[in-house]
Structure 1
Amino acid sequence: MKKVILLLIIVISVSCKNEAKKDVKKEVIVEVKKENFPNELGKVFEKHGGIKAWRNAKVLSFNKGEEVHTSDLHSRKIVINSPKYSLGFDGKEVWLDEETKGDYKGNPSFYYNLYFYFYAMPFVLADDGISYSKVDDLIFEGTNYPGYKISYASDKGTSPDDNYIVYYNPKTYQMEWLGYTVTFRSKKPSEKYKLIKYNKWENVNGFVLPKEITWYNKDEKGIPTEPARPATEFTLPLISQGKLADSFFEKPIVE
């Protein structure tokens, strides 16, 4: 009888332990990227579609004139195709199609991602290795546009001394202006900012991306005065969560 009672106690004990094990849930640790940009810029990103949605996107494409610019948003591989030439970045080096070298007059290393940065505003201003600092408002036609300066760590990109300043509408938080420096050739920091007005935007799969931008002249106080050149227009925009094959960004093989 004692053996029976002892056996029942053991069976009940084991059964309770098994039930307890069933109730134990594994703790799932989800790593959340900690953002370091100011709250105001977070509102700007949100106005343009949200930084989380942007980081889930994989491919960005747009036309500038006859050029088709296509970028992998994660690896930053890029290819530019036009009727006369093609160039790109395959993740390791910048290339220019051998058969079209005579048709392209610029510097591929400078140009391959130039308009990607202008077009992917303001989201590229949330890349890793960026520091932010508040700057004086930009004043244009009686409106004050608050701004933040963006600086890069010394190991980021081919021109880490380049700086950007994003100016936004204080009521809507939509981006309105971009100031930027060019240090590709000099390799030295500069305080000479070029200025672009983001004239028109359009909704592309939930993202507010530029449709037209205009470079502006400035007076001696840095206040924009008038357009420096005709507006640059972007057409046929596309942003997708689909991924392109690595071979898409490789230099064409000359047979």
Structure 2
Amino acid sequence: MKNLIAIAFLAILIVACASEEKKEKEVSVNLDQYPPKLVKVLEAHGGLETWNKQKLLKFSKGEEIHTIDLSNRKSLVVSPKYTLGYNGKNTWLKEKDSAAFKGNPDFYHNLFFYFYAMPFVLADDGIVYDATDSLIVEGKSYPGIKISFKDGVGASSKDNYYLYYNPKNHQMEWLGYTVTFFDNKAKDETSIIKYDEWQDIDGLKLPRSLVWYEKDSIGNIVPPKTVNPVTFEEVSLSTKEVDSTFFEEVE
């Protein structure tokens, strides 16, 4: 009897170890596919493997509560006046008052998730990395990495992003980006975001506030005349997935 118990215990232990090993393999990442500079930025923010273990992200932005499935990028945005979701195939919108939502649901449903999940979303599949000039702001130089997309990747494959980081600690400081969603035409003019504050969430350094900067008449990056930071609060990450119906259209 004792031998049977010992064998059973050993079998359970082997299965548990195998399961744990499988989990480790699932989150392992081949970092050789990324530019070394980007790898250092990802490590400065907690590491891509730590990020990839997460299944669900939730944060509040003003009155909106955003929930994103990190595995498939399904999303849900809930506010007192409307609910907006993407179920993996279609974007849907429910408004409590007529025209309560101002904007394009297809463009908006993952807009702030993408800004929020920097720099980790810049390690997605289908991305092309290139060198770019450093960004100079108030006499300080920030090295950069240009990010573009292979044709057909995402809803706006002609978008370009420019990640700029602190050369001392490789922490992300700025993001330049173009918007091609509405006309599908490549752009040279970029908008600039300062990643003003960061917060530690479960071992990951994620944004607390963003500030959109402006350009003066000769193209210098300058603070906006009126600073209206976008702040992210009540942030949580989970390694557990939600039911797929969570992102379906509400009745």
Matched residue, 1:237: 235
Q: Once structures 1 and 2 are overlaid, which stretch shifts more, 91-100 or 49-58?
A: 91-100
Matched residue, 2:4: none
Helix, strand or coil at the partner of 2:81: coil
| From 7, 25, 34, the counterpart of 2:30 | 34
In the alignment, the residues of structure 1 paired with residue 176 and residue 134 of structure 2 have an alpha-carbon distance, to the nearest angstrom, of 12
Shift of 1:156: 1.0
Aligned length: 226
In the alignment, the residues of structure 2 paired with residue 243 and residue 145 of structure 1 have an alpha-carbon distance, to the nearest angstrom, of 37
Indicate conservation of the 8 Å contact 1:80/1:88, yes or no: yes
Matched residue, 2:110: 113
For the pair 1:123 / 2:102, whether they are aligned, the reply is: no
Indicate conservation of the 8 Å contact 1:85/1:101, yes or no: no
For residues 243 and 196 of structure 1, do their structure 2 counterparts lie closer, same or farther at Cα, with a shift above 3 Å needed?
same
Matched residue, 1:224: 221
| From 137, 140, 145, the counterpart of 1:143 | 140
In the alignment, the residues of structure 1 paired with residue 217 and residue 159 of structure 2 have an alpha-carbon distance, to the nearest angstrom, of 22
Give the RMSD, CA atoms, in angstroms.
1.8
In the alignment, the residues of structure 1 paired with residue 54 and residue 166 of structure 2 have an alpha-carbon distance, to the nearest angstrom, of 26
| From 167, 180, 183, the counterpart of 2:180 | 183
Helix, strand or coil at the partner of 1:243: coil
Shift of 1:142: 2.1
In the alignment, the residues of structure 1 paired with residue 58 and residue 141 of structure 2 have an alpha-carbon distance, to the nearest angstrom, of 33
Shift of 1:223: 2.8
Letter in 2 for 1:46: E
Deviation per CA, 1:153-199: give whole Å up to 9, x if none: 11211111111000000001000000000011111111110000001
Shift of 1:103: 1.2
In the alignment, the residues of structure 1 paired with residue 97 and residue 248 of structure 2 have an alpha-carbon distance, to the nearest angstrom, of 15
For residues 221 and 154 of structure 1, do their structure 2 counterparts lie closer, same or farther at Cα, with a shift above 3 Å needed?
farther
Matched residue, 2:92: 95
Indicate conservation of the 8 Å contact 2:29/2:48, yes or no: no
Helix, strand or coil at the partner of 1:40: helix
Indicate conservation of the 8 Å contact 1:78/1:113, yes or no: yes
Helix, strand or coil at the partner of 1:236: strand
Indicate conservation of the 8 Å contact 2:76/2:86, yes or no: yes
Helix, strand or coil at the partner of 2:208: strand
- TM-score of the superposed pair, with normalisation by structure 2: 0.85
Helix, strand or coil at the partner of 1:227: coil
For the pair 1:155 / 2:152, whether they are aligned, the reply is: yes
Shift of 1:39: 0.5
Please list every run of 5 or more consecutive structure 2 residues that lacks an aligned counterpart in the other structure. Answer: 1-20
Shift of 1:102: 2.7
In the alignment, the residues of structure 2 paired with residue 221 and residue 46 of structure 1 have an alpha-carbon distance, to the nearest angstrom, of 35
Letter in 1 for 2:200: N
Indicate conservation of the 8 Å contact 2:83/2:95, yes or no: no
Shift of 1:232: 1.0
Q: Percent identity, aligned pairs only?
A: 48
Letter in 1 for 2:180: T
| From 205, 208, 221, the counterpart of 1:208 | 205
In the alignment, the residues of structure 1 paired with residue 250 and residue 61 of structure 2 have an alpha-carbon distance, to the nearest angstrom, of 22
Deviation per CA, 1:78-134: give whole Å up to 9, x if none: 000001100010000111016555311211011111000010000000000000011
Please list every run of 5 or more consecutive structure 1 residues that lacks an aligned counterpart in the other structure. Answer: 1-27
In the alignment, the residues of structure 2 paired with residue 171 and residue 66 of structure 1 have an alpha-carbon distance, to the nearest angstrom, of 36
Indicate conservation of the 8 Å contact 2:29/2:49, yes or no: no
